[in-house]
Chain A
């Protein structure tokens, strides 16, 4: 039974397109995250939501817009895709009020390739 699931697993698209990645967690966690892992494996937080409220918004282009319809879902929409957006995007969740430094549970990642 997958705890944090992301779809799609692979996404290949052209520059300028708009795409969405979906994330769902069935762990009952209150906090969810989006991370970007580049080709050098560097993992950087993009957004964090706690109970549908945005609490972390790192320096990310506003072409990236997270949406949390409920606390079990955090989707990532990307407008006008650029070559530099090619990366693996990981969704994660953690327990408790605003995570409070709790371990994070990661999804399998979405490998986004921009042609």
Chain B
């Protein structure tokens, strides 16, 4: 069964700092990859997704992620974070053509003004 690891459980950054959140998955076949964000007290929203093609994916709010197949990774990045980026971030994986989603344990990002 596939699994998803997010090694950073809690990240604290100052505004304007650069962000990189790690995501690794364990499955050797075709995968679809997602990052979701959950703002305090709200539901999960899709930030970006990778299905195929260019491994560098751009999402909403200035986020991007890079799929590195050889490393089984899909790290999330943002060059300059804002206080409003304070939220929980979840990496998720589905096997190609199969709809069950496996979520990582989430990374809590706290941005200090």
Contacts and interface: CB of A to CB of B under 8 A. Distances in A.
A101 B105 contact: no
B99 A41 contact: no
Contact of B34 (A55, A56, A103, A109): A103
A40 B43 contact: no
Interface stretch (A12-20, A42-50, A61-69, A77-85): A42-50
Contacts of A98: 98-99
A106 B100 CA distance: 15
A109 B43 contact: yes
A101 B32 contact: yes
Interface stretch (B44-52, B63-71, B76-84): B44-52
B44 A106 contact: yes
B99 A94 contact: yes
Contacts of A101: 32, 51, 94-99, 101
Contacts of A56: 99-100
Interface in A8-59: 31, 33, 40-45, 48, 50, 55-56
Nearest to B96: A101
B103 A43 contact: yes
A41 B106 contact: yes
A47 to B, nearest CB: 11
Contact of B105 (A31, A40, A102): A40
B90 interface: yes
A100 interface: yes
Nearest to B32: A101
A34 B99 CA distance: 13
Interface of A: 4, 31, 33, 40-45, 48, 50, 55-56, 90, 92, 94, 98-109
- Identify the 3 closest CB pairs spanning chains A and B, nearest first: A99-B99, A101-B94, A101-B32
9 contacts: A40-B105, A48-B99, A101-B51, A101-B99, A102-B99, A104-B46, A105-B46, A106-B43, A108-B43
